[in-house]
Amino acid sequence: MEIRSGLPKYSGAFQPNALCGRIGNINGFLFNGKGMPRLCLGPDWLYFLGLLIAMIVLIWVFIIIIAPSNYIAYAGELIFAYLIICFLLASFLNPGILFNPLEDESVDSEPSNKSRRFCKICGLFRAERTEHCDQCGVCIDEYDHHCPWISKCIGRGNIIFFYGFLAGLVITVIYMALTIAFLSNGTAKQ
């Protein structure tokens, strides 16, 4: 199988059981037996790192200073753990990178692929909801959008955890607001 020229560079990628490799602009880690990365870190990793540090610092300040040794803090710890876990899973899981290199055949000669679109950059046929991401340099199955805060695209492989992260953010904001209101109301009565 020969990959067409002009495609994104795949260094060490798509080799079964490789430890790490680069796919387009995405760093892949722990490749499976089919040569697909189990873990990925996108090109916007500095945004990811900054948001992770900010979340951890804010959570630590909230639990240690605002709501210390209170039964309310235990609920917060569970909410914060859920938030961080969903964020890390959305950030590190493979978003649905497609790789199906064409053999040296004409693109127009394959009748079974007439209904599918062809990505000239990646050199592969794409299903309906598959899009090429210019920032990541790869095609993503069930592409939703590119999120710099997650450091890469949101697609089939990580969208559930992305939605979990968004829900966790909403729950966290509600929890923090209610906790501050409860603690300030309790302090005012004393």
Measure the CA–CA gap between 100 and 116, rounded to whole angstroms.
13
> Do residues 136 and 42 make contact, with C-beta atoms less than 8 angstroms apart?
yes
pLDDT of residue 189: 46
In our burial notation (b when 16+ CB lie closer than 10 A, e otherwise), range 160-183 reads ebbebbeebeeebeebbeebeeee
- Is 116 a domain residue? yes
- Is 137 a domain residue? yes
- Is 31 a domain residue? no
- Is 105 a domain residue? yes
Q: Report the candidate in 128, 137, 188, 175 with the shortest Cα–Cα distance to residue 156.
A: 128
Boundaries of domain holding 145: 44-189
- Is 7 a domain residue? no
Q: CA quadruple 138, 139, 141, 147: dihedral positive or negative?
A: positive
> Do residues 139 and 132 make contact, with C-beta atoms less than 8 angstroms apart?
yes
User: In this predicted model, what pLDDT tens digit does every residue of 100-157 receive, in sequence order?
Assistant: 554 444 444 454 555 567 877 777 777 778 888 888 888 888 888 999 999 999 999 9
- Is 158 a domain residue? yes
Does the pTM of the predicted model rise above 0.85?
A: no
Measure the CA–CA gap between 65 and 189, rounded to whole angstroms.
20
User: In this predicted model, what pLDDT tens digit does every residue of 28-56 receive, in sequence order?
Assistant: 888 887 777 888 988 888 999 999 999 99
- Is 127 a domain residue? yes
> Do residues 101 and 3 make contact, with C-beta atoms less than 8 angstroms apart?
yes
- Is 126 a domain residue? yes
Max CA-CA distance within the chain?
81
Phi, psi (rounded to 5 degrees) for 48: -60, -50
Number of other residues whose CB lies within 10 A of the CB of residue 15: 12
Q: How many domains does the chain have?
A: 1
pLDDT of residue 25: 80
DSSP string, 59-73: HHHIIIIISTT-HHH
